[in-house]
Chain A
């Protein structure tokens, strides 16, 4: 029987295999940031251990960095300490750091591919649950905890239970690819399989709906599984060609990847789900996990409709509606918003910003809305500025910020006030995620831009996006 892409990458990285237990897997790339690493470096010091492969380890600061003027000191003392701690740790252990003033600074999952550090067929880890993003290039990329960060720093390996393989086939073609985006595909998937639907699996996204996507769109796909993968193709190879850290022998690597990095036609997946995207609408989340999502043309469901008879899901939906202050039956397009956040590792790449700027054109945002764009990396920011996109946002009264995770998790000063409602291009809508008491609706960049203009959600398919 043939093998899946995931099985091939897994098997080529097994260092120790045990019967009925976890395998020791070699890690090719380790990305480190300021929030989940300090305790790991402490552990190394306590046990007099070294970083085994500094040459496979890269660090940046993204989670709690301020996104305003970088020449100003960091006012939050605890954030400043965490950032200084990373600087010291990288210096002490010989790790390459893109610090707050580096032109390469940015969200780890944006800079990895942008610098050619992310490569097909490799294993990549980071102490961050969004690490799966790198799977867009056919890398097996896993989010890990701090103890595992310490484990990888010391041994360049991890003990892993082999996850189940899960095929998600995305069939069909979007009618208006500027209005219905990769974000809408992934929210539709999560809506169908549930927020825990990917647990214990590595998802391989397949089908025309996926291969049609550009690389930056593919990096939007993230759904709570152990990892997600897309078979690398010419688009992936082209994206990484000629980047700052792309290996010198790149073309011979590409030849090898073309031959080996694919799921065999007779391979079997342990789980399967198919989504047809011919007719999907822009998506808007209404609840407090990404599975609580509906079409922009729909109304807020009642807990009974949502739960389909599951009492636990019903209870979850009731709690979510109370937190979100929403009534069942309210049309999505009637929901007014206070804030707009265009940013995060899923949706703050150049293409996201270009697409959102096409919605704005020469319009201004609604007077009731405060809106910000936080580019995914300093390089994205620079590229956007070279194209004049920053001017479109600034003229519309968006704030144009420096790179970082920002309001995706609100560890820096960019947070919602209690009760504020936000259209956000990030990927988590948990209670208080963007600020205690804040209410998050997950949408695509174009949906967020349109909501900023109108002051409420609108179906972007009705707008001129030329």
Chain B
């Protein structure tokens, strides 16, 4: 995984609550067996109509957001299906940070496995950020977001921060505890399935 670096970009406002993973990547695109190339399917049914024409009123189809790396959206983002394809699509499309008042649990943990930073902030701050037109800077090291007018700090679990900043392989970290896992297995009374 690539180490997470400072991100400077304008924000893309997606002013909706309860955005589910079926909207982020519709099911017809889940049949691929690799992680790459999902960006073109991101918000597919909101970006294109049934004849595959571009829907001009959807925010991602506004060319001014083409190079945006920061999505700012509503409460309970990523609810529903566990599909990690949602994170792969956001990343492949070009986003590396997502800011919302809250995230669904599985989506939230999927983000960290892919070097993608979810930041949860107070509803009012998120609403204000959605209005921000200038470039903002997200600095994970200092846990701050700098806008043209203010500096906002955010919280993150120290272990997750380290994984992102150093681009660590989560599994390799875990396997350092091999002796503890083996000990647990020796003492556990859980029967095998077969």
Binding site for B on A (CB under 8 A): 15-16, 18, 20-22, 24, 26, 28-29, 35-36, 38-39, 42-43, 47, 49, 55-58, 63-64, 76, 78-79, 81-82, 85, 96, 117, 119, 122, 127-129, 143-148, 150-151, 154-157, 159, 161, 163, 195-196, 199-200, 224-226, 245, 247-249, 253, 289, 291, 312-313, 315-316, 319, 409-411, 418, 428, 430-433, 436-437
Contacts and interface: CB of A to CB of B under 8 A. Distances in A.
B127 to A, nearest CB: 9
B106 A145 contact: yes
Interface of B: 15-18, 20, 22-23, 26-28, 30-35, 45, 50, 74-76, 79-84, 87, 102-107, 109-110, 113-114, 157-159, 169-171, 174-175, 177, 180-181, 184-185, 188, 190-194
B172 to A, nearest CB: 8
A436 B26 contact: yes
Nearest to B34: A39
Nearest to B103: A199
Contacts, number: 194
Lowest 5 A-B CB distances belong to which pairs? A147-B113, A196-B76, A38-B33, A145-B110, A145-B84
Contact of B79 (A36, A163, A224): A224
A148 B26 CA distance: 21
B174 A56 contact: no
B104 A196 contact: yes
A409 B22 CA distance: 9
Contacts of B159: 18, 21-22, 159
Contacts of A38: 33-34
A356 B18 CA distance: 32
Contacts of A313: 17
Contact of B158 (A21, A56, A96, A436): A21
B17 A312 contact: yes
A85 B80 contact: no
Given A22-B157, A159-B159, A291-B18, 13 more contacts: A26-B188, A35-B31, A39-B35, A43-B171, A55-B192, A56-B190, A122-B190, A129-B81, A156-B181, A312-B16, A313-B17, A430-B20, A436-B28
A428 B4 CA distance: 34
A150 B171 contact: yes
Nearest to B175: A155
A64 B31 contact: yes
B107 to A, nearest CB: 8
B187 to A, nearest CB: 10
Contact of B177 (A16, A29, A151, A312): A16
A39 B22 contact: no
A316 B16 contact: yes
A117 B17 contact: no
Contacts of B181: 15, 24, 26, 155-157
Given A145-B113, A150-B171, A289-B79, A81 B33 contact: yes
- Of B32, B33, B74, most A-chain CB atoms within 10 Å: B33
Contacts of B33: 38-39, 42, 81-82, 85
- Of B114, B159, B191, most A-chain CB atoms within 10 Å: B191
Contact of B193 (A42, A96, A410): A96
Contacts of A56: 190, 192-193
A458 B30 CA distance: 36
Nearest to A81: B33
A154 B171 CA distance: 8
A428 B80 contact: yes
Contacts of B191: 119, 247-249, 253
Contacts of B76: 195-196, 199
Contacts of B105: 163, 199-200, 225-226
B84 A146 contact: yes
A412 B79 CA distance: 22
